[in-house]
């Protein structure tokens, strides 16, 4: 019988904390967006249109990095305080590579690392 690979991802538009359930204690890998506040300020000085183009490009790259991790799992929960998780889910739904991966989205408040780990353990113990 195949072992189900599970991962919880707590994310916002700036960073994603990837927590694989197979390790004990859970290790957190962090993926960060390159669209930082400093980049936003610099591109805004050159024009609002440029800033929005840069933001869209950097967000796309950020979601692509997270997607590359998700491909290796069977069961995924995306959670966090912003709409970033929903934006990522919309992109994943359009890609046939993710059609056999169970992906859930949960709205949560900002959490500490320990709270994130507890959320992931609790979520997968019930699903």
Pairing status of strand 28-32 against strand 15-20: antiparallel
Question: Where do the structural domains in the chain lie, given as residue ranges?
Answer: 6-126
Q: What is the residue-level pLDDT of the chain in tens, covering all 127 positions?
A: 568 899 999 999 999 999 998 767 888 999 998 876 676 677 767 777 776 777 787 889 999 999 999 999 999 999 999 999 999 999 999 999 999 999 999 999 999 999 999 999 999 998 7
Q: Bridge-partner residues for 8, per DSSP?
A: 19, 77
User: What is the homologous superfamily of the domain 6-126 according to CATH?
Assistant: eRF1 domain 2 (3.30.420.60)
Contacts of 83 (CB under 8 A, 6+ apart): none
pTM score of the predicted model: 0.88
Residue 18 corresponds to which tokens in the numbers above? 């990837």
**What's the CA gap between 32 and 17, in Å, rounded?**
9
């Amino acid at each position: 019988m195949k072992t189900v690979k599970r991962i919880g991802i707590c994310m916002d538009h700036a960073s994603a904390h990837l927590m694989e359930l197979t390790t004990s204690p859970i290790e957190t890998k962090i993926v960060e967006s390159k669209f930082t506040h400093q980049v936003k300020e610099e591109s805004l000085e050159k024009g609002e249109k440029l800033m929005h183009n840069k933001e869209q490009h950097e967000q796309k790259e950020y979601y692509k990095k997270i997607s590359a991790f998700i491909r290796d799992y069977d069961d995924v929960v995306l959670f966090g305080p912003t709409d970033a998780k929903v934006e990522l889910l919309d992109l994943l739904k359009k890609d046939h590579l993710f059609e056999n991966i169970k992906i859930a989205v949960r709205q949560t408040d900002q959490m500490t690392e320990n709270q994130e780990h507890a959320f992931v353990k609790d979520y997968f113990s019930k699903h």
